[in-house]
Structure 1
Amino acid sequence: MTIPSATYRIQFRNGMTFDRAITLLPYLQRLGISHLYASPIFTATTDSTHGYDVTDANEIDPALGGRDGFNRLSTALQQTGLGLILDIVPNHMAASLENAWWRDVIEHGENSQYARYFDIDWSRRLTLPFLGEDFERVLQNDELSIKPHPQTGHPALAYYDSFYPLTPASWQGRADEVLAINDRAAIAELHQQQPWQLINWRDARKDLSYRRFFEITGLVGVRVEDEAVFNASHALILELVHSGAVSGLRVDHVDGLADPQGYLQRLRRAAGEDCYITVEKILADEEQIPSEWPISGTTGYEFIAALSHALIDDTQIDALHLAYEAVTEERNDVSAGLRAARELMVDRNFAGEFSRLLALATVVAHSEQRNFGEAELHVALREMLIAFPVYRTYGRPAGMPLAGEALLQQVLEAVKFSAFPAALSFLQAILLGAISEQSEQDAAEFRTRFQQLTGPLMAKSVEDTLFFRNHAILAINEVGAEPLPHPFSVEHFHQQMQTRLHHQPDALSTTSTHDTKRGEDARARLYSLSEAPALWAENVTRWRELNQSKVLTLNEGPAPEPAVEWMLYQALAGAWPTTLRPDDHDGLRTLEARFLPFVEKALREAKLRTDWADGDETYEQAVLEYAKHLLSAENSAFLTDFVTAIQPFVDAGLVNSLSQTVIKLTAPGVPDIYQGSEALDFSLVDPDNRREPDYAVLEAQLVDRSRPDFTQPSDWRSGKLKQQVIACLLHLRLDKPQLFRFGDYQPLYATGAHPEHLIAYARQDSENSLIVVAPRLMLEGTSWAETSIPLPESLAHRHYRNLLSGATLALNEQLSLDNLPPYAPLVLIAS
């Protein structure tokens, strides 16, 4: 297996095609990338912006250039010596009429050859939740009609531009008669004869008959645990791997699968031992990938969480939380907020999935003659789901791993006073497989669906609810982050890196993705708020006063409320371009076009005063007008104050950015560069983070591989400095792959006047020694005077070359930092 030295993620679609990607390969080669990492390339719904809504897993999307375009890209990659990693989507496909498999299921129901390809409850009619209102209202509005299907000419139920094929038994032998139907009662009767029923999209959360991806009804779960389904959905993927065109696979949402371990073992057997495989998997703190999984590791969200320990000021972050409470005039009880978010998910957003689980548990309870009813089971199941601390357990037909048993015991201990003990013990017995044989079929389905539900519940309650409600410091509201308040420490970062080296040295280390809540450089800037909570609070108080006239008083309270104001100023500070001036009207309009969609999404994801399903347009409009005012050229007093006040955070953020970059490129793991973030990435949540970068500028900045000049402010602010540092270190990784893959990780600790302002470690194998020193907590421009790093014997008494400056130095028992600029990281390689 060839392990990448570094990957570069490209988002195909939205104008990025295979032929366009080919033109970027010389640039990626100069940058030092070993593998192109591609978003899904298989045929997806028309105008898909991301490719995760696959309609044909065995066709390369013509919109990207089709198979011919892919072959051209493959040839170009081989000519430049770059590998290719594909993002594949085994958990779901598009529940779209463009999907031939899905369309066949609609037409033929349970008799379709693809009926078992999808995770559908066939005990009732297939629900299609794509109506704007209830069926009866849509019918009365004459929005439904019988028309010939555009492709087949057969009778179909038409709803605007969608044509739902009628099952043959309802029209064969009388097609003309059926096509002539225009009576509402006759349409309703014909609809009743179908193996499917159209319903209001709002009813999906409680009445869906198929497993979906999270809350997205347009994505239907695929039963890839079935060998026939695996083979049918992976035929082209495996062909590309076996041909040598693809050297690695990234598995999307592995926790959604019925049996992740079984799937990965089958994928490994089918793809071969040489295929590099990673999985999208969110790990909680101290959680590790199951050792039985035959993969190289995760896609690296836990690395982002580890970095926060290296760059946040733990001595002052509590003061920032207190400042937030003072401004909002509310106690910020994150634990209570987390429970409230989880309750909302269980009781409302995933009500249908919960009801199905409860029904299965009730059937098993009756079969096992347990002397408690559905009400007791309801409370017990609800409490267990709410208390679940990780994405899921990994029980299989053979039983639950010891780690899973321990986790279930932990959950039961947490809820033992909240539910009927016998009901809790019964649910534990089902999950551990301690059920009689006569109940095993229903119990097995319960186990599978319980494990498939805990992940979406965690993701939607934490990442897509709590993180949009709790605004104290937005930088830590990130995918993979621990939601509850916790200490931050450099020591914890060191421990995480040593664990990473031991458990998954070949996993990806990421800092930005298409799913992160904000770009890596926005996050790095906002980390610095932890260094000056009083200053930040003073700024917010002053800005609120400057813009007070734009706060509206609604029946439910002010709009925006203080917590949302705090969020808006922080999000704006994170996204503010380094060179944007308050009098640059065009630049302000460009930022506004990105900022307002973020604000709308943030309000709806919070699910407090508005929501995606039940929106409060008056409230949303009030907050959007407030946000728009912040970026109005007429609001010059605020803009001038804002730009001046955030400059110290901007400068500190650029130092943080460089530190996290150097750490990512030298710590255990395979660094992943998200498109454009080799320069500066101040993006907001998707879709903003999926914009195509300006590759012309990026290529122009890297015409030559000159050494970075840390004394040029323009290079910091353009991202050129960061880009040069990346190119320098990536080429070192190409030259010394064994050092970075197998080299030991040794924490180093400074002594003297300013040890808290740096993080240091060494990487060492039998042939090479590397010392890394990165600045931290630099908001006040602290120096490294009278500070040094004692060196262990294995690193001492040697000559080193500063990879970033070219200078050489001889080190004895210590590395003195006295005369070194504290804003420039050190990367020293033994010469």
Structure 2
Amino acid sequence: MRAKAPTSTYRLQLGPALTLTRAAELVGYLHRLGVDTAYLSPILTAAPGSEHGYDVVDPTEVSPALGGDPARAALVERLRAHGMGVVVDIVPNHMSVAAPAANPWWWDVLRHGRDSAYARCFDIDWSQDVLQLPVLADDGDDGAAALAKLGIADGCLTYEDHRFPLAPGTHRAGDNPADVHARQHYRLVSWRRARTRLDYRRFFDITGLAGVRMEDPDVFTAGHAEILRWAERGELDGLRVDHPDGLADPGAYLRRLRERFPGWIVAEKILEPGEDLPASWPVAGTTGYDALREVCGVFVDPAGEPGLTALADSLGVPTDHAAAKAEGRRMAARELLRPEVVRIAALLDHPEPDRAEDAVAELLASFPAYRSYLPEGRAAWDTALAQARAARPDLADVLAALDARVRAEPEGEPALRVQQTSGMVMAKGTEDTAFYRATRMVALNEVGGDPARFGVPVAEFHAAQARRESAWPHTMTTLSTHDTKRSEDVRARLAVLSEIPEEFAAAVRRWRERRALPDPALDLLAWQTLVGTWPISADRLRDYLLKAAHEQKVRTSWLDPDPEFDAEVAAWPERVLSDDDLCADVAAFVGRVRAAGWSNALGQKLLQLVGPGVPDVYQGTELWDLSLVDPDNRRPVDFTLRECLLERLERGHVPEVDATGEAKLHVVRQALLLRRDGGRDLRGYLPLEPSGPAAAHAVAFARGPERDVAAVATRLPLGLARAGGWRDTVLPLPTGPGTWTDLLTGQVVAPERTDGFCAARLESLLARYPVALLVRRQPSG
């Protein structure tokens, strides 16, 4: 195990197309790119056919589908040979139970009920003694017709292609399947029952993922034995902890993990703007969504807000993001997560169960952050309680009783379950609902983002980076993940719309006259998506829009689909892309913003890679990547192409900024090599303040104890061009011995010196690229 934090990570999204063996073949490429540590998606055994690994069924072995433990060991050996580290993504909150036979722990629970040795592993409500499994089809008969399809085969209860175990002594030859079913520790019920009652905690609203009781020390030990075995053998350097907010006590879990694992740990914690990680968490930081908001936001022009708001208002698209979030969260609490609300309300023993459920739902929908962490840091809890009381004064007595119970027992079951569930409500109500309803400017509708705040001012950006450097210098930073709603390069192109809101509004109105979707918010999302990803295939766009429509939950949803509306949405991409005149107009508009989008993409990538924290590069994004939400962002990556382009750079090629994306690869390579091999200490953070007529169009900072590394990026490039370019704008550079050189161009910067102050002319510095990566080299001797 390496004692230090990584200098950078590269996320490999493993699956059928990228196994551990294939990952080992990429190590040489990653090392040449400058990557310090390979960052692997979950590698424990997942559900059959899993495309992502977050549906673990057996935490005691490496997935055979990925190559098993021999392939993992071979990958680690290859990484070590190149001096590289390995970080693995783990999923402590839940396990997949969709295919019971694939999960030995769940199978045993179904077979033996509450007497199973594994019953303590899952968060199950055994108050009824029988575990209800909502798997039966339901044509309005509560699953009655489906029960007639039960059978017995190979010692199992069968329903269609599902298999369930039989408790010992509950089946004899010739028994009626229905009678055998009645003798089990579980009952197969209509899938619709999960909308009102569920006997086990799940991951969000996915009934095929059951919550795990990691608060139990024995469950923790069993669930982490394989992972910690790798660490004990020196074959693991870091852990990325998925969804800690779903755990009963995230802080206690992370402290227990830290006792057993001394390496680098980051938690997938979504921070609201201004929120900090709990001080008691022994982690290096988050997985970087907070940095994503800051870095991407600085390339959005706040002056574009009125124009884009006017467009959305004129189309009937919601623009009050606070109201959209509140509506989405209430819907999530009252509908999507009602079983969780019912379970919490039952703990209150209130004489009016309906009022208790209403109070719990309102409280869950009122949290200002994903969750609180009692008894540490009561602010989020107190804010949620106050907002719930203000919204529902008729429930003040129930809320007061709940608050009194929680204050008396901050570690009791009601307190823990409210906190576990609030994050689920936030995620489902905001990310998976409001973000698809209030679509004014979807570049802002990102995990960890706040669409109500139109961009990030430069001063705020600098303050956030300085805080990160002082408080969480080894936290992960990111621009794209497997969970982002759209890739960094799509957001970079869409950010350009904030510079030309009236021009975009006129284009949307033209396009809508030819091909409009019937829902205004989905329609505006669709046109932004088309611009952001152009050129895109009809199939990819169709799949994305169908997912967006179901997440939006206005005209259709996953639980209550509208086939007619779904068919209209599915047909839209082909209709648009077969309209030659419309496509020509869209292509011309994209031609207007494409180069500015490339400028933004290079700028935000450089700021992330050189800025405070440990930067992660999501697989494939070292070239332009115009991906959308999963599963689109898990498409196979053409690493052969990337290796060929890397060889050109290694031979000294200085690429143009063009459609190949080679310029981005150049920026990524030079920044990563500087971090890993450049011999530069990147501690510290110093904002650099340009001066002159175009000062607002540059963002720059210096790093290192000697302030001998500087990153410079162009922002709002269309506005810069309209204003006449850089003209006499200059950037002050830290003084000291040596000469500044741009690692991207090899250009030696000759700053003008006046009164002991040196400044570089941006017109010269950024003549080749919209970004510069400067190092100050000491004079020889």
What TM-score comes out, normalization by structure 2 length? 0.94
Task: Give distance in 1, aligned partners of 2:48 and 2:385.
Answer: 46
CA RMSD of aligned residues (A): 2.1
Alignment of 1:307-318 (within 5 A): 307-318=295-306
Give the partner amino acid of 1:20: R
Partner residue in 2 for 1:176: 173
Deviations 1:510-531 (A, max 9, x none): 1111111011101110011111
Change (3 A) 1:541 1:796: farther
Partner residue in 2 for 1:580: none
Partner residue in 2 for 1:830: 776
Secondary structure at 2:134 match in 1? strand
Secondary structure at 1:295 match in 2? coil
Partner residue in 1 for 2:663: 721
Whether 1:24 and 2:26 are equivalent positions in the alignment is: yes
Partner residue in 1 for 2:675: 733
Secondary structure at 1:140 match in 2? helix
Cα distance, 1:684 vs. partner? 0.9
Partner residue in 2 for 1:556: none
Say whether the 8 Å CA contact 1:725–1:804 is kept in structure 2.
yes
Alignment of 1:636-651 (within 5 A): 636-651=580-595
Correspondence for 2:282 among 272, 285, 294? 294
Cα distance, 1:692 vs. partner? 1.4
Task: Give distance in 2, aligned partners of 1:815 and 1:543.
Answer: 44
Give the partner amino acid of 1:170: T
Deviations 1:412-468 (A, max 9, x none): 333333334443332222223x25xxxx9xx81111111100001000001000111
Give the partner amino acid of 1:253: H
Question: Which 4+ stretches in 1 moved above 6 angstroms?
Answer: 134-137, 707-711
Cα distance, 1:799 vs. partner? 2.3
Give the partner amino acid of 1:507: T
Partner residue in 2 for 1:165: 165
Correspondence for 2:367 among 376, 388, 403? 388
Deviations 1:153-200 (A, max 9, x none): x3x2211121211222423xxx2243xx3xxxxx33332222111122
Whether 1:610 and 2:556 are equivalent positions in the alignment is: yes
**Alignment identity in percent?**
38
Change (3 A) 1:656 1:464: same
Whether 1:493 and 2:461 are equivalent positions in the alignment is: yes
Give the partner amino acid of 1:214: F
Whether 1:774 and 2:713 are equivalent positions in the alignment is: yes
Correspondence for 1:786 among 706, 712, 728? 728
Secondary structure at 1:302 match in 2? helix
Partner residue in 2 for 1:620: 566
Whether 1:267 and 2:257 are equivalent positions in the alignment is: yes
Whether 1:303 and 2:249 are equivalent positions in the alignment is: no
Task: Give distance in 2, aligned partners of 1:808 and 1:571.
Answer: 41
Partner residue in 1 for 2:118: 114
Secondary structure at 2:523 match in 1? helix
Secondary structure at 1:678 match in 2? coil
Partner residue in 2 for 1:806: 746
Alignment of 1:210-609 (within 5 A): 210-271=200-261, 273=262, 275-326=263-314, 328-329=315-316, 332-361=319-348, 363=349, 373-374=352-353, 376-395=355-374, 400-401=375-376, 403=377, 405-417=378-390, 418-419=392-393, 420-432=395-407, 434=408, 444-485=412-453, 488-547=456-515, 559-577=517-535, 591-609=537-555
Task: Give distance in 1, aligned partners of 2:419 and 2:132.
Answer: 23
Task: Give distance in 2, aligned partners of 1:188 and 1:705.
Answer: 68
Alignment of 1:138-149 (within 5 A): 138=143, 140=145, 144-149=149-154
Cα distance, 1:658 vs. partner? 0.1
Change (3 A) 1:483 1:526: closer
Give the partner amino acid of 2:359: A
Deviations 1:606-633 (A, max 9, x none): 000000011001011112212221122x
Deviations 1:677-700 (A, max 9, x none): 011110011100011111111111
Give the partner amino acid of 2:684: D
Correspondence for 1:753 among 675, 690, 693? 693
Partner residue in 2 for 1:817: 762
Correspondence for 1:51 among 50, 53, 59? 53
Secondary structure at 1:341 match in 2? helix
Cα distance, 1:723 vs. partner? 0.3
Change (3 A) 1:222 1:785: same
Cα distance, 1:469 vs. partner? 1.0
Task: Give distance in 2, aligned partners of 1:330 and 1:266.
Answer: 47
Say whether the 8 Å CA contact 2:291–2:477 is kept in structure 1.
yes
Deviations 1:199-244 (A, max 9, x none): 2223213211000001111110111111110111111100011111
Deviations 1:255-304 (A, max 9, x none): 11111111111111112x2x111111100111111121111111101111
Secondary structure at 2:27 match in 1? helix
Deviations 1:707-764 (A, max 9, x none): 9877724xx3111110011111111101357622xx2211122221111111111113
Change (3 A) 1:521 1:61: same
Task: Give distance in 2, aligned partners of 1:725 and 1:308.
Answer: 17
Task: Give distance in 2, aligned partners of 1:136 and 1:686.
Answer: 34
Give the partner amino acid of 1:425: A
Cα distance, 1:801 vs. partner? 1.4
Say whether the 8 Å CA contact 2:499–2:716 is kept in structure 1.
yes
Secondary structure at 1:250 match in 2? strand
Cα distance, 1:597 vs. partner? 0.5
Say whether the 8 Å CA contact 2:16–2:66 is kept in structure 1.
no
Cα distance, 1:143 vs. partner? 5.1
Partner residue in 1 for 2:133: 128
Cα distance, 1:789 vs. partner? 2.5
Give the partner amino acid of 1:160: E
Secondary structure at 2:298 match in 1? helix
Deviations 1:70-93 (A, max 9, x none): 222122111122111111111111
Partner residue in 2 for 1:188: 178
Say whether the 8 Å CA contact 2:741–2:749 is kept in structure 1.
yes
Cα distance, 1:254 vs. partner? 0.7
What TM-score comes out, normalization by structure 1 length? 0.88
Task: Give distance in 2, aligned partners of 1:394 and 1:77.
Answer: 38
Secondary structure at 2:717 match in 1? coil
Give the partner amino acid of 2:73: N
Give the partner amino acid of 2:381: L
Give the partner amino acid of 1:250: R
Task: Give distance in 1, aligned partners of 2:317 and 2:550.
Answer: 21
Of 798-807 and 721-730, more deviation after overlay is shown by: 798-807
Cα distance, 1:394 vs. partner? 1.2
Task: Give distance in 2, aligned partners of 1:312 and 1:170.
Answer: 65
Secondary structure at 2:617 match in 1? strand
Whether 1:795 and 2:735 are equivalent positions in the alignment is: yes
Task: Give distance in 2, aligned partners of 1:379 and 1:215.
Answer: 19
Say whether the 8 Å CA contact 1:797–1:810 is kept in structure 2.
no
